[in-house]
């Protein structure tokens, strides 16, 4: 039953489970405390704290996540979360995928679970482009490894990535890396497998949707054209 709340774009499944177990949810007039109870989204009447559960208007946002912010809803270590930037939000939204605490950039927020599941499904192979500052100058051999796929330190193999050197300074290199999968901390682990270290990591684009002139810590609603751009391949 908890899945119905996220399907309707009302609550996260974890929050729904808490409401259900607290006896705040009624199905066809009867209190239900088991989140695994099977229900029909079309035939059953679900009421939470006196409010009828109804499908909400779909919301799609792009957010420029700052560095040092986590993407969880509430943090046991009291770190700043993305939800601190939406204090007046009247509708529940969740992040599509994750950006780790030390990574900034484009993060999608929505209440459309099917949309989120599609974009994060590995089979979708939606490309994500990052600008990366590293503490070394990659050799041609190292760039080839990134471009053709490589084995990470824990044995995982990556798919080919699109890699471009943007510029180099005396000590550092700035790269543009596009990947089509979402392994945990993947870009950082790719660089670490080359013996280097990521000094700065910013996600600039998903599909063909880019941050543009969006400022750090700000968000904007997506329109139909933006949603179309999400499914396009980045321009070479």
Catalytic residues: 100
Q: Among all chains, which residue has been given the structure tokens 């979360």?
A: 81
- Residues forming beta bridges with residue 60, ordered by sequence position: 110
Pick from 235, 236, 234, 135: nearest CA to 194: 135
Contact 219, 64 (CB under 8 A): yes
Pick from 166, 160, 156, 168: nearest CA to 193: 156
Q: Among all chains, which residue has been given the structure tokens 């912010």?
A: 69
What's the rounded Cα separation, in Å, for the pair 12 and 9?
A: 8
Contact 4, 54 (CB under 8 A): no
What's the rounded Cα separation, in Å, for the pair 12 and 146?
A: 36
């Amino acid at each position: 039953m908890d899945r119905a709340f996220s399907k309707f774009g009302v609550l996260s499944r974890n929050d729904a489970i808490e409401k259900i177990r607290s006896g705040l949810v009624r199905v066809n007039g009867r209190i239900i405390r088991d989140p695994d109870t099977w229900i029909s989204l079309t035939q059953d009447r679900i009421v939470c704290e006196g409010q009828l559960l109804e499908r909400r208007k779909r919301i799609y946002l792009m957010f420029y996540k700052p560095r040092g912010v986590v993407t969880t809803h509430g943090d046991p270590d009291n770190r700043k979360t993305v939800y601190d930037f939406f204090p007046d939000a009247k509708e529940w939204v969740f992040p599509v995928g994750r950006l780790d605490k030390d990574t900034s950039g484009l993060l999608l927020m929505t209440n459309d679970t099917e949309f989120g599941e599609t974009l994060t499904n590995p089979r979708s192979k939606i490309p994500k482009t990052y600008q990366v500052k590293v503490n070394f100058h990659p050799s041609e051999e190292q760039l080839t490894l990134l471009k053709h796929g490589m084995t990470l330190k824990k044995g995982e193999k990556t798919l080919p990535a699109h890699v471009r050197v943007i510029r180099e300074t005396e000590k550092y290199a700035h790269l543009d890396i596009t990947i089509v999968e979402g392994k945990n901390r993947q870009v950082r682990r790719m660089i670490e497998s080359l013996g280097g270290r990521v000094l700065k990591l910013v996600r600039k684009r998903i599909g063909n949707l880019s941050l543009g002139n969006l400022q750090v810590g700000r968000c904007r609603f997506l329109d139909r054209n933006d949603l179309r751009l999400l499914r396009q391949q980045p321009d070479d």
